[in-house]
Amino acid sequence: MRRILAIMAAALLLVSAGPPVGQRISTRSEKLSDFRLKVTKVVLTGNAFQDVALKEAVRNAWTITPYEFCSPEEFETLKTSGDYYFMLRTTDPSKPGISFLTVVKGGAKDVHNMLEVFSMPVGSEGATSGSEEFFLTALMGMMQENVEKGLDRAGVKLKSIAGGSGRLSKMKLYINSEDLAPQVDETFKAEGLGKDMYIIDPYGAEDIIMSGAYDTAVSYVIAPEPPAKGSVCYKMLIDARTHELLWLGKHTVRPGKKDAGFLKSDLRKFSSHRK
């Protein structure tokens, strides 16, 4: 009898410790289960350069949901509705000077309080010129791949694909001269780079990413202009044909110091894997 009473008491404790009647625990995947069914509102910024690049990238590479472009004013009207997802430019106080592209689910007055699907750096904050227009389609492809991962788990970060470095060592590698840190001086260049490694001008880099060339990788750097305390520089090597991220590096850049871009140590690393 005492054993039966003990079992009943334990069962009662388990019931009382559970959620209130009618309340269901909702997981991240459940909250985002309607993602592919809902319209993604792509929020324009009013910056003509950024908006042209964003529109082109979405049209070329975004395929996992229906989408519509909207103005900042329309976003302000719709942002508290859970009927929409939003893709928009954001900033991170811990990484000043960098513009991020972020996908969130509507339902709050502040973007930072919305459920984030994925966020990644795409360019310098407030940029009005440069290669972003040509590279954003490639970045959008990376964005889409990681958004799908973010539907199931939080904290997904941009990273290179598995085996990317191995593939890179067998490809032609083109580095935009403007993506090199000033420490990569003429003396270093004269010493020679690795096999099939080339330094080209910005127009050449843009032509390569647009060409879709086989067995070819090209550089892309995201850095604040100018850097502030805590600023970070992101360095990428992208497959020109598949737009896959083969290598990703980053380092802190300091105010008043011209140290953004690929460093000597980066170039030595790539050269050492080439025969």
- Kindly report, residue by residue over 65-92, the tens digit of the pLDDT: 999 999 999 999 999 999 999 999 999 9
Could you report the per-residue pLDDT of 194-212, keeping only the tens digit for each? 899 999 999 999 999 999 9
Q: What is the pLDDT of residues 96-110, one digit of tens each?
A: 899 999 999 999 999
* pLDDT tier, 58 (very low <50, low <70, confident <90, very high otherwise): very high
11-50 pLDDT, tens digit each: 444 334 444 545 565 899 999 999 999 999 999 988 888 8
> Is 236:212 a contact under the CB 8 Å cutoff?
no
Whether residue 208 contacts residue 240, with contact meaning beta carbons closer than 8 Å, is answered with: yes
3-state secondary structure of 27: coil
Task: Report how far apart, in Å, the C-alpha atoms of 3 and of each of 7, 9, 17 are.
Answer: 6, 10, 21
Strands (E), 44-149: 67-70, 85-90, 98-105, 115-124
Q: Compute the residue count for the chain.
A: 275
**Inter-residue contact 139 to 106 (CB < 8 Å):** no
In this predicted model, which residue has the larger pLDDT, 9 or 246? Answer: 246
At residue 229 the predicted structure's pLDDT band, cuts being 50, 70 and 90, is: confident
Q: What is the DSSP letter of 99?
A: E
**Higher pLDDT pick, 257 / 108:** 108
Predicted confidence at residue 1, as pLDDT, reads 44
The confidence band for 54, taking pLDDT boundaries of 50, 70 and 90, is very high
Q: Is the pLDDT of residue 167 over 60?
A: yes
Q: Tell me, what amino acid is at 107?
A: G
Residue 145 to residue 155: CA distance in whole angstroms: 14
Q: What is the mean pLDDT of residues 117-139?
A: 86
Check residue 25 and give its pLDDT: 53
Task: Say how many CA atoms lie within 13 Å of 14 toward its Cβ.
Answer: 6
Average pLDDT, integer, range 54-71: 96
The pLDDT-based confidence of 221 (bands split at 50, 70, 90) is very high
